[in-house]
Structure 1
Amino acid sequence: MSLRPALLLIDMQMGLFHGPARPHDADGLLARCLALIAAARDAGAPIFAVRHTGPEGSPIAAGSPAWQLLSELGLDPARDMIFNKTRPSCFYGTQLASWLAERGCDSLVIAGMKTQYCVDTTCRVAAELGLKVRLAADAHSCMDTPALKAEAIIAHHNATLAGPFAQVLPTADIRF
């Protein structure tokens, strides 16, 4: 049985990407997300992009400059599915599962931010929902924390998610 994949870009937003603490390897992250977008477009795979939406008055409240997706991604609401979430799971309180089902997608390629929150949670939930998950090992990122450097967080999550929750592959090895 062949898989019908979709691309899910998580929280590639102005306030997270260009905020006071930049994600680890920000330029590389953006380049690899752009490569995934191009590959998905070439294959005719659906592209989903989600924004984390904070409460009224927060830096990432709906409509705020920090809430906006990166314009560099070249996303187009006329052809790409752009939606909002308020929790770490891209499925909680959204229609993502039904949108994937409507498009016949049983496989999800995941990239974006932040590794230890929304990327991790969404990989786990997608696997629980029966989707085949491919995590782009070099196309998700986060910032350093007081406990761990971002590079260690990313490596830990790639190792933890690989197998039971996702196939973890470099961007260059992902096909749609």
Structure 2
Amino acid sequence: MPAALLIIDMQVGLFHGPEKPHEGERTLANIQQLIKKARLQNVVVFAVRHTGPEGSPIAAGSPFWQLLPELGLDAEIDVLFNKSRPNAFHGTELAQQLTATQIDDLYIVGMKSQFCIDSTCRAAADMGFKPLLVADAHTCMDTAALPAQAIIDHHNATLGGAFARLINSADVTF
């Protein structure tokens, strides 16, 4: 089955902001390894960034809106796009691009587990794609209600099976 890697919201303002993502460096390293694997196997890499309204810290073009330079993404070979909702399919051409290239398996990584990762996994399954949630390559921040690790574990348990297949980054072969 043709596959793609979807990197969600790995942006300067979210990753390097005042609230640090849980095990952010480990998560980033896992995503960097997945990008390398994808490139070696000619797997397309999609990277989406959340775009806030004019005047927000992540408004289009702002420094915090940019994708992390550490990812080494290249607009010449990677598909970079913007979204304004948690679901990466909403208001974007993602579904059409996946369908046009006959991609079924969609490996999902990035931030934040309880928002954009969750929404995108559920939407991908509803649309007939086969989402694979890379369990050790998505993260979020602590909240007042729950620590980040509990949020991540909960989403792995909730999304795994019903909405996505769980896989660890070391096991990804595309």
Report if TM-score (shorter chain) is over 0.5. Answer: yes
Give the equivalent residue in structure 1 for 2:43.
45
How far apart in 2 are the matches of 1:107 and 1:168? 12
Report the equivalent of 1:169: 167
Task: Report the secondary structure of 1:168's partner residue.
Answer: strand
Structure 1 unmatched ranges of 5 or more: none
Question: Normalising by the residue count of structure 1, what TM-score does the alignment of the two structures yield?
Answer: 0.98
Separation in 2, partners of 1:119, 1:84? 15
Unaligned runs of 5+ in 2: none
Give the total of aligned pairs. Answer: 174
Instruction: Please point out which of 111, 115, 118 is paired with 2:116.
Output: 118
* Equivalent of 1:160 in 158, 165, 172: 158
Residue aligned with 1:78, SS: coil
Inter-partner Cα distance in structure 2 for 1:43 and 1:160: 30
Superposition pairs of residues 68-79 of structure 1, within 5 angstroms: 68-79=66-77
Q: CA deviation at 1:48?
A: 0.2
Runs of 4+ that moved beyond 6 A: none
Q: Tell me the CA shift for residue 106 of structure 1.
A: 1.0
Partners of 1:139 and 1:76 in 2: CA distance: 20
Structure 2 CA distance for aligned equivalents of residues 78 and 106 of structure 1? 23
In the TM superposition, what are the counterparts of 1:1-176 in structure 2 within 5 Å?
Answer: 3-176=1-174
Q: TM-score, normalised by structure 2?
A: 0.99
- Percent identity between matched residues is 59
Amino acid corresponding to residue 60 of structure 2 in structure 1:
A
| SS of alignment partner, residue 57 of structure 2 | coil
CA–CA distance in structure 2, aligned partners of residues 43 and 158 of structure 1: 26
Whole-angstrom CA distance in 1 between matches of 2:33 and 2:134: 11
Structure 1 position 86, deviation (Å): 0.1
Give the AA of the match of 1:15.
Answer: G
Structure 1 CA distance for aligned equivalents of residues 172 and 114 of structure 2: 22
Shift of 1:13: 0.1
Q: Deviation per CA, 1:130-160: give whole Å up to 9, x if none.
A: 1111110000000000000000000000000
Q: What secondary structure, in the 3-state scheme, does the structure 1 residue paired with 2:156 have?
A: helix
